[in-house]
Amino acid sequence: MVSYVFPPPPVAALPIKGSDALFPVRRIFCVGRNYAEHAIEMGSDPTREPPFYFTKPADSVVINGAVTPYPSVTKSLHHEMELVVAIGRGGRNISVADALSHVWGYCAGLDMTRRDIQNEAKKTGRPWDMGKGFDKSAPMGLLVPAAGIDPSKGKIELKVNGKVTQTSDLAKLIWSVPEVIANLSELVELAPGDLIMTGTPEGVAAVVRGDVLEGFVEGVGDIRTKII
C-alpha cells in the first residue's frame, strides 16, 4: 500500500455529454500553426512545415461553462478557438489509417494565450510554457463520443460578446486529425486521457475582463466562458 506525504491532487476531468461519467485528463498536447491564415497573421510561413507541439498541464482545464480568471503577468490575453481530440486508446507509431480508432471523443476548446509572453519567448528563443501553459488556460466544452463525428470538415467559430471573431472550417487544417495523431505518436507514446488541441484558425485577438466567449465546432459542440 502506497502512502503519500500529502493527499494526491484531484484528477483533472472533462464532463461528457449525456453521461454522468467523467473523462480523466492525462496530458494536453497542442499543435502550433495548423491553419494557414493563422500562420500568416502570426508572421509565419504557412507552408506545410512538420507539425510542432507545446503542452499545457492537465489541470489547466476550465470545465464547460465555468468562468476563466484573467491571468497574472500579461496585458495581452488572446483567445484561440480549437477542435480538441480526446484519446481513448493509446499507442506509439500509430498509422494515419488507424488513427481515428484511437479517438474517444471530441470537444470545442480554447487555447488561451498570454500573447505578450509568448511573443517575447519567440524573440528570445525561450520556451512557450508561461505563454501557453498557465493556470486555467484551457477552457473546454462538453466532451462528445467520437461515433458519427467526421473531424475532416465542419465549421469552427468563436464569438466574443456576440460578435464573430474567428470563423473557419476544419477542412482547412494543414495537418488533419489522423495525421496529427500519427505524427504525435512517433514523438511520445499516446495514452488514454491525452487531449490534443488541434490549432486555431485566423482571427485571434485580445480579450478583457467581462468578455463572454462563445464558440462551436459544427457536429461536435459548444464552448462558453466569461473572462473575470
Non-local (6+) Cβ contacts of 211 within 8 A are 160, 161, 226, 227
* Total of residues contacting Mn ion (CB under 5 A): 3
d(CA 8, CA 115): 32
Other C-beta atoms closer than 10 Å to the C-beta of 61 total 22
- Pick the closest to residue 139 from 162, 121, 112 (CA basis): 112
Between residues 16 and 204, which has the closer beta carbon with respect to Mn ion? 204
For residues 78-107, which are near Mn ion according to CB under 5 A? Answer: 80
165, 200, 216, 220: which one binds Mn ion (CB under 5 A): 200
Dihedral sign from CA coordinates of 139, 53, 131, 24: positive
CB 183 within 8 A of CB 102: no
Listing from the earlier edge strand, what are the strands of the sheet with 53-56?
Answer: 53-56, 28-31, 195-197, 81-87, 103-110, 144-145
Interface segment toward Mn ion; rule CB under 5 A; list 91-99, 135-143, 157-165, 194-202: 194-202
Of 16 and 160, the one with the shorter C-beta distance to Mn ion is 160
Q: Residue 139 Cβ, how far from Mn ion at the closest point, in Å?
A: 12
Closest approach of Cβ 206 to Mn ion, in Å? Answer: 15
State the minimum distance, in angstroms, from the CB of residue 114 to Mn ion. 12
Cβ at position 112, least distance to Mn ion in Å: 9
Site string for Mn ion, 61-80 (x = CB under 5 A): -------------------x
For Mn ion, the closer of residues 19 and 135 by Cβ is 135
Q: List residues bridging with 116 in a β-sheet.
A: none
| Minimum CB–partner distance for residue 2 and Mn ion (Å) | 37
Using the rule CB under 5 A, which residue among 85, 108, 111, 114 binds Mn ion? 111
To 5 degrees, how large is the angle CA 171–CA 51–CA 107? 50
| Residues engaged in binding Mn ion (CB under 5 A) | 80, 111, 200
